[in-house]
Each structure stands twice: as structure tokens, then as C-alpha cells.
Amino acid sequence: MNEAPSVGNRYIRVMLGIIVTLAVLAALKISKDVTIPLVLAFFFFLMFSPLLRRLDKLHVPKLISSIFVMCLMLLLLLASGWFIIKTVDTLVRLIPFYTDKIISLDRILTDMVSSFVEVPPSASFLTLLPVNWSSLAISSLTQISNKFFSITKVALLVYIFFLFLLLERQSVIPKLLAAVPQGKGMKIAVMFERITRQISKYLVIKIVISFFTGLFFYLSALLTGLDLPSLWGVLAFVFNFIPSIGSIVITSVVIFVALVQFAPNWTNIILVAVLTISTQMILGNIIDPRLQGGQLNLSPFMILVALSLWGYIWGIVGMFIAVPLTSLMQILFANIKSLRPFAIMISSGKSYQRERARQKAIRSFQRRTQHRKSEQFAGESSIESSEDSMAKESANMGDFVLPEQFGEKK
């Protein structure tokens, strides 16, 4: 009798959870002008947290360490703005050159295809794609220039939020312990510390891997003579923060630009492709997983889902911070009993696979042990049964008289 109401209450809680989740995601999308700078400031704070902890261990005064980190942050923002302005200006000047290169590449590819398939005289790949590449590129760069004011506003908000996070960093844990009931205050404080350390470690390792990725892209462009080597190095550094998709996008773009610039010199094109793909394979698929280890413990499928979801809510910024946000949600879910199944579904499942394999090995070992014991017991029992039968046979020989022995018995 009591099961039906409990099942109904469970369904009500699930529906309320879904409604609340959708409402929160909608609110995040609507308020992105405020939430994006706040979240970016928080992740910049986590990025600088290892440096702040190192300065604290060296007994550097809090004021000096905060001023030092704020100067680094300001330098980073100014360098990013200067690079964007310089790159846009350079690309605008190079658009006519690359427009001619795309037209010549189109002729080369059309001639190559016409040697295998009959192509009409006026047909080409560009005619199949009726796009004015020059106008499209100029309009895109103009949009970036027009959005520079909004980008500057976001950077200013990020810097202000970052400043106040620095000022509050020493009082966060005491405030958590004082605000939350005594039984849960320490648990929340430990969870907050775990979140900050885990995401800080992820960001630091990702920065190191992305730096070397950008460096090798820059050196590859210099070695092959590819135009704008600094641009490809910086873009490789930035796009490496988007798991899987970012590396594919930047590698494809660099190879396409090499194709446009060097065709029909296929040697340089192949060299650019080999160098960039090798860089992504070695750093992204070998070194990065070894350095990261299993600390994030996120499912690759859920990472793609997170990229799509946060990309839809916050655009390109959401894709950059999708992985640390998902890791943060996993830690929160794991510490809330009713949401723990979601933390398990988000995880990679490797620990559960290892546990299942261990349990399977234990059961197999127990079965083999029991089988050996049963065989040993069966062997002993068979020996005992044979000895019993021989004993019974020898015992019955004195009582049982065979027919041919009747005369002797007499």
C-alpha cells in the first residue's frame, strides 16, 4: 500500500528536477552577458591558483602576490587584444593574395579531375559553391573589428571579477564553514578544495600541452614557409582547449591554408600535414592522457555532449570551458546522494570496469579453488570407496561360497 505513493513521489521529484535543470540552463543562456565574464574570471582564478599557493608557501605577503597576479592578468589581456588587432589587420591585407591563390587552386584541381572525368569547359569547384570568398572573408573580419568593443567590455568585466575573487580567496573556506550547518560545513569545504585543485591541475596541464602544441605548429609553419606562423601557433594553443574537435579544426585549417598557398608544390603541403598531424597525435593522444591520468574521469561521449550543450548556451566560450564545468558538476553530483547516479553516468567507467574485472577474477579464483577441493575430496572419497569395496569384498569372501568350491567347503 505504501509503495504506490513513494513511486509517485519519486516521479514527481524527477520531473521537478528536469524542470529546474531546464530553467537553470535557460537562465544561463539568457544572462550570458553576465555569466560568461563571471565564469571566465573563476577559471582564470583557478588557473592562477597554483601560482598563488606557491607564493603563499614562500611567505610572500597577500597584497604583493595579489598585485603580481593582477599585473600578469592585465598583461595577458593586453597581449590578447594587441594580437587580435594585428592579426585582423594582416589578414585584411592578405585577402587579395589568397583570393588569387584559391582561384589558381581551383584551376589545378579542375584540371586534375578533368584528366579522369569529362568536365564541361566552364565548370569548376568554385562554380559548384557560389560564394564570393573575398567578400565573405572581409565581412567576417569586419564583424570581428566591430565586436572589438564588446570583447573589450567582456575583458573588463572578467578583470573586475577576477580582482574581487583574489580579494575573497582567504575568506571563502571560513565563510563556508560558518554559513553551512556544522555537520556539513567541513564536507562542503573539502569538496570545494577538491574542485579547485582538480580543475586547477587540469587547466595547468592543458596550458602546458597547448603551449607546446602551439610552439610546434609555429615551428612547422616556419620550417615549411607557411604564412602567418604566429597566427597558427596561437590558434593551435587556443583551440587545443576544445577536446577532440578543436585539434581537428585547427589541423584541417592549417592544411587547407598550406594547400592554397603551396599548390601545386605538394612536398610542402605533405610536410605541413605530417608535422601538424604528428604533433596532435603525440601531444594530444599520448602525452596529454599520461599527464592528466584518470583525474577527470569523464566519459568521451559525455564530453562531446557537454561541448554541444555549453556551446549552444554560451557559444565558443562554452566549448572552451565545457570540460572543467562537466568535471565540476561530476564532483558536485558525487557528493549529493540523490544525484550520485548522474555522477556515475558522467564518469568514464574505467574504475567500475576494473572493479568488475577484479570481482570476476575473485569469483573465478574461488570457483577454481572449490573445484580443486571438490576434485581432491572426490579423489579421496574414490580412494576410500575403493578401499571400502575391497574390504567388503575380502570380508565377504569368507561367507560367500562359489559353486566350484562346494566340494572343498565340505
The average pLDDT across 394-405 equals 38
The average pLDDT across 347-356 equals 65
> Given pLDDT bands bounded at 50, 70 and 90, which one contains residue 88?
confident
pLDDT at 289 over 80: no
Compute the C-alpha angle 227/230/231, nearest 5°. 75
- Under DSSP, the state recorded for 169 is T
pLDDT at 387 over 90: no
pLDDT for position 404: 35
Region label for 297, one of left (φ > 0), alpha (ψ between -120 and 50) or beta (otherwise): left
Percent of the chain at pLDDT above 70? 71
pLDDT for position 403: 37
Q: What is the mean pLDDT of the chain?
A: 76
Taking the whole predicted model, whether its pTM rises above 0.75 is answered as: no
The average pLDDT across 370-379 equals 65
pLDDT at 260 over 80: yes
pLDDT for position 121: 61
The average pLDDT across 45-70 equals 86
pLDDT for position 91: 76
What would the DSSP string read from start to end of 243-280? TTHHHHHHHHHHHHHHHHHHTT-HHHHHHHHHHHHHHI
